[in-house]
Amino acid sequence: MDYVLTAEALGKHYGHFKALDGLSMHVPKGSIYGLVGRNGAGKTTLIRLVCGLQAPTSGAYTLYGVPSGDRALAKVRRRMGAVVETPSIYLDLTAEDNLKEQYLVLGRPSYEGIPELLHLVGLADTGKKKARNFSLGMKQRLGIAIALAGDPDLLVLDEPVNGLDPQGIIEIRELILKLNRERQITVVISSHILDELAKLATHYGFIDSGRMVKEISAQELEAACRKCVHVEVTDTAALARVLDGMGVDYKIRSEREADVFAQMNVSQLTLALAKENCEVLSMQERDESLESYFVNLVGGGGHA
């Protein structure tokens, strides 16, 4: 597989605190790679290292095959755009003038591509409106436009939908999908809104305590997040006996609840349980979500 970004045993220490602790990752070319982890897990630190804003304490990463520390990395990094933590925009300038400033920084010969870029991110009609008067979603889209000014192959977004209203979240989602599908831009995105990330990502990296716990494709995750029938009964011990006799996979959740990982014949199950003096109280089909998969992977507690 062709990887745009890899990391091997990457470490970042602040005194005795290990923000990253031997982390490894592999971002396939053309993917939307979702970074999943609690607050403080190391997501933003990883992004800052990859963007060259900080240097690793140990280990290494490669960008388009060029290792960190190589002189050629600065040139390769021009193929990368990023929005880290908050968009870097001039609040007293219009969207167009913000992009002109970025074009000057990048040394681009003309402003020819700016109208197309504004149209791409949905800011073509903002005119002379200054960025300080933009909504949070508009500011985020302007930040992404600035990150796209150098025509990058790789876009890194740190919590791009944080604080946005539902409409703003949809706009950012559609923009990311458009960039990936129509421009073949590889996207690395961290988000604490896991259900939203599930609508975007083709690959995932689960980070906990500065380490990569697991990397998995969306297809593999879908297979791992098995559908189940959530059953509530009067006696799960009786249910277990019946399901064992049927050779069905299940998980007991409590004295009255269980998850059954099979398509069940409701009449057959009810009759079998009746013989065990057990009554079915309710049955409901469920899918394991990205959030529950993450919690099961790294343990309980908050996530981000």
The 10s digit of each residue's pLDDT in 269-294 is: 999 999 999 999 999 887 767 888 88
pLDDT range class, residue 303, cuts 50, 70, 90 = very low
pLDDT in tens, 236-273: 999 999 999 999 889 898 999 998 988 878 899 999 99
pLDDT tens digits, residue range 57-70?
Answer: 999 999 999 999 89
Q: H/E/C letters for each residue in the chain?
A: CCEEEEEEEEEEEECCEEEEEEEEEEEECCCEEEEECCCCCCHHHHHHHHCCCCCCCEEEEEECCEECCCCCHHHHHHHEEEECCCCCCCCCCEHHHHHHHHHHHHCCCCCCCHHHHHHHCCCCCCCCCEHHHCCHHHHHHHHHHHHCCCCCCEEEEECCCCCCCHHHHHHHHHHHHHHHHHHCCEEEEECCCHHHHCCCCCEEEEEECCEEEEEEEHHHHHHHCCEEEEEEECCHHHHHHHHHHHCCCEEECCCCEEEECCCCCHHHHHHHHHCCCCCEEEEEEEECCHHHHHHHHHCCCCCC
What would the pLDDT profile of 26-62 be if each residue is shown by its tens digit? 999 999 999 998 888 999 999 999 999 999 999 999 9
Residue 304 has pLDDT above 60, yes or no: no
161-184 pLDDT tens trace:
888 889 999 999 999 999 999 999
Across residues 10-15, what is the average pLDDT?
95
Q: How confident is the model at residue 115 (pLDDT cuts 50, 70, 90)?
A: very high
Position 300 scores a pLDDT of 61
